Structure 1
Amino acid sequence: MIKEPGGERTPIRNSGSQTLARGLTALQMITDAPEGLSVQEISERLGAHRTIAYRLLGTLVDFHLITRGADGRYRAGAGTVALARNYQTVLRDAALPVLRRLADELGSTVALLVAELDEAVAIAVVTPQSVDYHLAFREGSRHPLHRGAAGHALSSLRAPSPTDTEAVVRARRDGYAITHGEVEPGAYGLSVPLPLAGQASPTCINVITYREGIVRESVERVRKAAEEIARAVQN
Structure 2
Amino acid sequence: MLAESPEGLGASEVATRLDVHRSVAYRLLMALTRQNFVSRDEQGRYRVGLDFFTLAERVRPRLLDVATPVLRELTAELDATTCLVVPENGSAVAVAVIEPPGPGPRFSYGIGNRDPLERGAAGIALLAAGSPREGEQERVATTRRDGHVVTHEEVVPGSTGIAAPIHPAPGESPAAINVITHRRDVAERAIPIVVSAARRISEALGGSPTTAAG
Q: Is the TM value for this pair above 0.5?
A: yes
Secondary structure, aligned partner of 1:134: coil
- Structure 2 portions without partners, runs of 5+: 1-17, 19-23, 25-30, 208-214
- Structure 1 portions without partners, runs of 5+: 7-24, 33-65
Aligned-partner Cα distance in 2 for 1:31–1:119: 14
8 Å CA contact 2:130–2:174 kept in 1: the answer is yes
Aligned-partner Cα distance in 1 for 2:133–2:59: 27
Query: 1:223 is matched with which residue: 181, 191, 195?
Result: 195
Quote the RMSD (CA, aligned, Å).
2.8
Mean CA deviation greater in 196-205 or 109-118? 196-205
C-alpha deviation, 1:169, in angstroms:
2.2
Q: Against the structure 1 CA distance between its residues 164 and 85, is the aligned structure 2 distance closer, same or farther, given a 3 Å change threshold?
A: closer
Q: Against the structure 1 CA distance between its residues 82 and 154, is the aligned structure 2 distance closer, same or farther, given a 3 Å change threshold?
A: closer
Aligned-partner Cα distance in 2 for 1:85–1:30: 13
Aligned-partner Cα distance in 2 for 1:81–1:182: 26
Q: How does 1:180-195 map to 2 (within 5 A)?
A: 180-195=152-167
Amino acid at match of 1:231: E
Q: Against the structure 1 CA distance between its residues 200 and 107, is the aligned structure 2 distance closer, same or farther, given a 3 Å change threshold?
A: same
Rg larger in structure = 1
C-alpha deviation, 1:188, in angstroms:
0.3
Count of matched residue positions in the alignment of Structure 1 and Structure 2: 178
Q: How does 1:1-235 map to 2 (within 5 A)?
A: 28=34, 31=37, 66=39, 68=41, 72-76=43-47, 82-89=53-60, 90-129=62-101, 132-234=104-206
C-alpha deviation, 1:200, in angstroms:
2.7
TM-score by length of 2: 0.72
TM-score by length of 1: 0.66
C-alpha deviation, 1:108, in angstroms:
0.5
Deviations 1:156-215 (A, max 9, x none): 122323311122122122111000010011210000111322153221100001112212
